[in-house]
Chains A and B, each alone.
Chain A
Amino acid sequence: MSALPGERYILHVDADAFFASVEQVLRPDLQGLPVIVSGGDRGVVSAASYEARRFGVHSAMPTVQARKLCPRAVFLSPNFSAYKEFSTRMFAIMKGYSPQVEVTSVDEGYVDLTGTFRLHRAPPWEIAHRMLSEIRAGLGINVSGGIAGTKCFAKMTTGLAKPNGLLYLEPQHARIVLARLPVESIPGVGKKAEEILKRRGIMTVGDVADLSRRRLQRLLGKWGGALWELATGNDGRPVVSSHRDPQKSYSKEHTLEQDSKDLGHVWSVVAQLTEKVAARLRADGRGACTVTVKVRSADFSDMSRSMSLKFPTNLTRDLLDCAARLFRLTAGRRFGIRQVGVKLSGIDVPVLQTDLFEPRRHIAAARDRTVDQIRNRFGFHAVKILRGSGYGQPPGVG
């Protein structure tokens, strides 16, 4: 068979409970357990494994609520450098099957399989099956896929295929099957649009498709026209290959469990953030010239200070030294501190300039690599760097 003229085969790929799945791969002892990745008790759930979802936990839910629903879950703080690495590997596999791969988020993207029949001598669903199998086998995580004629339908199809499934809906069937889904399952329909539509008895995708374009535009403005196209399968948006621009900065923030005036404690949080962003920088093989430390006080006033290094570096030690100096400049004792953040910018190829008085700099680089490997495998807290051993306690704080 070959594709009919004008007929498109778009595959949407979405990793299931991505962060939690990666954690389960890195720590096999977590397989089968409810795993929740979240940013601390004042934050929200970033990912919940399927085991945790059975208890009603879902992403974006406040962590406190997740704890009530599933007190026995394993709560982990996110390990972005590991997720990033898995993500890179997943998209690398996808790019092996089609040149047209659009990365929409860390765990989700589109692949245009329209022209791949001649390339692979196999129908799109077969190619998609091979692709997903390769991701599952290579990365050990579950992924789902949906194939349809438009990006919107493909994404909705993936929703039906989850968990760990692959579904192809032929165009004539797609409209029938998807018509039964609630309006809010159309990507882009948020709380507000949902309310407007449902108030008028427009409950399903089919209901939307039955309306005229003009009616939808009257209801929802310009976006109504776009929604009509999405719901009727007339979404002509192409899959745009992502040439990922190199990242311009790396940053990380943390809201403290409680506002704190204990500068020693707050510094240890800043130091951890610095170690984590430095690890992300190293995972990308990049270095940074500029370090910025931001401190938000309990009264929500922000204070931030930056300093620049002579050369791009990704040594934890160099970056911690800067962070320590900046922290001293930003952290006042007048108010408690609510939130802290660290940003690395001036990104470039790292330079390891040897130093007359620090002959062991290259050893620091090797140590960073080892620490990264251990942390990728066993989590951030598997290794603790003792402050004071050349790891910059901020002067005047303690």
Chain B
Amino acid sequence: MIFEIAKESLLDGLTKAVPITEKKSALPILSHVLLNATDPELVLIATDLSVGLRMQYPCEIKEAGILAVPCRKLFEMVKELGTGTVHLSLGETGRLKIMSGKSVFELAAMDASDYPAWLSYEEVETAPLQSEKLVFMLDKTLFACSNDESRFNLNGVLFEQNEDRIKLVATDGHRLATIDEDLGMVIPSRKVVVAKKNLIELKRMLEGFKEEVRLGFEAKNLIVKTDRFMMTVRLTEGDYPDYRKVIPKPGARIVKTNHDQVIQTLRRAAVLTSERNKGITIDVRPGAMEITAVHPDLGIAQDVVDASYEGEAFSVIVNVNYLMDSLASINTEAVSFDFHDDGGPIVVNAEPAANYFNLVMPMRK
């Protein structure tokens, strides 16, 4: 294998591959990137077995070949090289020889035949994706996924086809975030779940693309591609709970307030919540919400934010981080909280209502 490639092209591919090769794995080969120099292009492949990435770059091939090398090390070397052409070749020792200007590296490599097979899913139908919209939707939901291994089915985001629109739902059981949007995409199975960690990779990739992106679904994978890139994202198997059952109808105790003011008030109160117990008390009375945090050892924080509310006074205890997360996902100047009866969820909504909202479950004494 002998080829020459522009440093910028190689670095671009390695930069994208590095995060995927750095996942913890029992298989050493997964920390490697596969270099496949086949006329007229260099194909880079990286996978953690859930997310796969295939990228093509133009290069000048003198002798075709294929080799797996430690991704992070190659990335670090190439990053430090001067601009210009990089010359790569397979040495007699089985190492990859990297030359640029006066720099010469030899990097230990692994046999390409040990690398997991790449399934290209060429036959999968794809449609143009409005990737900015999808990134926006992921921003509105990813934070609410569960990180708890014991609730494996909640570790991802539900994508659900609803006529022409796609609905995303994320929940960890304590809060829920949802958004729906016309993405111009079709989910053949109507419903898929994608793990949060895989979606983080997808989002990173989508944010990096400037060209048109196409998206499609295969039985077990979500596929995103452009002319030169292809990413496969493993779908999560398993049931997703029936989120519709837990979304309450609008209630009578709706409180409207200023977004920035309430978030600042919560931030101040959060200072005096304890490490493990993030509970704050919200006392709602006509015209105001009073927020109290009590730290058993350190003291008390009390703050008031103006709010439009006319009904009877009531109070709720809630995890301040959950409330702040849900408010952070809202972009409007005003927000509304819809409080439900004893133990029911708090619906956090943009005001005026938008195509996304959150639920936060309260705490009990």
**Interface contact A352-B365, CB-CB below 8 Å:** yes
Question: Given A355-B174, A359-B343, is A311 in contact with B365 using a C-beta cutoff of 8 Å?
Answer: no
- CA separation between A352 and B318, bound complex, in Å? 10
Judge whether A289 is part of the interface by a CB distance below 8 angstroms: yes
- Interface residue count for B (Cβ, 8 Å)? 23
Looking at the assembled complex, report how far the CB atom of B162 sits from the nearest CB atom of chain A, in whole angstroms: 20
Query: B residues 161-218 with Cβ under 8 Å of A?
Result: 171, 173-174, 176
| Inter-chain contacts of B365 with A (CB < 8 A) | 352
Taking a contact as CB atoms closer than 8 A, the residue among A311, A321, A359 that contacts B276 in the complex is A311
| Inter-chain contacts of A356 with B (CB < 8 A) | 171, 173-174, 176, 241, 246, 345, 359, 361
**Interface contact A353-B276, CB-CB below 8 Å:** no
Most buried by A among B176, B277, B319: B277
Taking a contact as CB atoms closer than 8 A, the residue among B148, B171, B173, B277 that contacts A349 in the complex is B277
| Inter-chain contacts of A352 with B (CB < 8 A) | 363-365
Judge whether B296 is part of the interface by a CB distance below 8 angstroms: yes
Contact with A along B231-258 (1 / 0, CB 8 A): 0000000000100001000000000000
Most buried by B among A321, A325, A359: A359
Looking at the assembled complex, report how far the CB atom of A311 sits from the nearest CB atom of chain B, in whole angstroms: 7
Contact with B along A322-335 (1 / 0, CB 8 A): 10010000000000
**Interface contact B173-A358, CB-CB below 8 Å:** yes
Query: A residues 343-366 with Cβ under 8 Å of B?
Result: 346, 348-349, 351-359, 362, 365
- CA separation between A51 and B275, bound complex, in Å? 51
**Interface contact B277-A354, CB-CB below 8 Å:** no
Taking a contact as CB atoms closer than 8 A, the residue among B148, B176, B274, B361 that contacts A354 in the complex is B361
- CA separation between A266 and B46, bound complex, in Å? 44
| Inter-chain contacts of A357 with B (CB < 8 A) | 173, 241, 246
| Inter-chain contacts of B13 with A (CB < 8 A) | none
Query: B residues 272-291 with Cβ under 8 Å of A?
Result: 274-277, 279
Most buried by B among A348, A349, A351: A351
- CA separation between A312 and B274, bound complex, in Å? 12
**Interface contact B173-A289, CB-CB below 8 Å:** no
Judge whether B103 is part of the interface by a CB distance below 8 angstroms: no
Judge whether A310 is part of the interface by a CB distance below 8 angstroms: yes
Interface SS majority for chain B: loop
Judge whether B113 is part of the interface by a CB distance below 8 angstroms: no
Contact with A along B130-163 (1 / 0, CB 8 A): 0000000000000000001010000000000000
Q: In the complex, which residue of chain A has the Cβ closest to the Cβ of B318?
A: A353
Q: In the complex, which residue of chain A has the Cβ closest to the Cβ of B361?
A: A354
Judge whether B70 is part of the interface by a CB distance below 8 angstroms: no
Question: Given A289-B276, A348-B277, A362-B343, is A353 in contact with B296 using a C-beta cutoff of 8 Å?
Answer: no
| Inter-chain contacts of B296 with A (CB < 8 A) | 349
**Interface contact B174-A353, CB-CB below 8 Å:** yes
| Inter-chain contacts of A353 with B (CB < 8 A) | 174, 319, 361, 363
Most buried by B among A348, A349, A357, A359: A357
- CA separation between A122 and B365, bound complex, in Å? 45
- CA separation between A357 and B247, bound complex, in Å? 11
Report the 9 A-B pairs with minimum CB-CB distance, sorted nearest first: A352-B364, A356-B246, A348-B276, A354-B361, A355-B173, A351-B277, A357-B241, A353-B363, A312-B276
Q: List 29 A-B contacts (CB under 8 A).
A: A310-B148, A311-B276, A311-B277, A312-B277, A321-B150, A322-B150, A346-B276, A348-B274, A348-B276, A349-B277, A351-B277, A351-B279, A351-B363, A352-B363, A353-B319, A354-B343, A354-B361, A354-B362, A355-B173, A356-B171, A356-B173, A356-B174, A356-B246, A356-B345, A356-B359, A357-B173, A357-B241, A359-B343, A362-B343
- B residues apposed to A, CB below 8 Å: 148, 150, 171, 173-174, 176, 241, 246, 274-277, 279, 296, 319, 343, 345, 359, 361-365
